[in-house]
């Protein structure tokens, strides 16, 4: 299903360490951890809900691995 929301997130899989902080802190519960690991061996967050563009995930990511973008 494609979500036609105004905002989305881009995850840099080379930087993401799969800590899950972004998933836990998102006020909309819009992120979930992917079920499979990327090439780095970590699971990465994916957007499955409505992102409101608050950028909290971006600010709290310890590895600066997630960026909020406007579609
Ligand atoms: S920008 Fe806000 S709503 Fe969107 S994924 Fe990040 S924390 Fe969630
Ligand atoms: S907070 Fe950053 S490092 Fe942690 S899972 Fe999210 S994107 Fe990856």
Which atom of ligand 2 is nearest to 17's Cα? Answer: 3
Could you tell me what percent of the chain has a pLDDT over 90? 92
Query: β-pairing, 31-37 with 43-47?
Result: antiparallel
Best mutation site among 9, 44, 66, 70 for ligand 1, i.e. most ligand atoms within 8 A of its Cβ? 9
pLDDT digits (tens, 9 = 90+) for 53-67: 999 999 999 999 999
Cα of 1 from ligand 2 centre, angstroms: 23
The string of DSSP letters for 28-68 reads T--EEEEEEE-TTS-EEEEE-S------HHHHH-TT--EEE
CATH class of 7-70: alpha beta
Q: What is the mean pLDDT of residues 14-22?
A: 98
**Cα gap 57→15, rounded to integer Å:** 14
Closest Cα to atom 6, ligand 2: which residue? 22
**What are the domain boundaries of the chain?**
7-70
> 5 falls in which pLDDT band (50, 70, 90)?
confident
Q: For 23, phi and psi rounded to 5 degrees? A: -65, -45
Distance from the alpha carbon of residue 28 to the mean position of ligand 1, in angstroms: 7
């Amino acid at each position: 299903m494609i979500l036609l929301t105004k905002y989305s997130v881009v995850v840099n899989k080379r930087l993401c360490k799969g800590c899950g902080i972004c998933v836990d802190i998102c006020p909309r519960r819009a992120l979930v951890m992917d079920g499979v690991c990327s090439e780095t061996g970590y699971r990465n967050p994916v957007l499955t809900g409505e992102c409101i563009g608050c950028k909290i995930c971006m600010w709290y990511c310890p590895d600066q691995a997630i960026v909020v973008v406007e579609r």
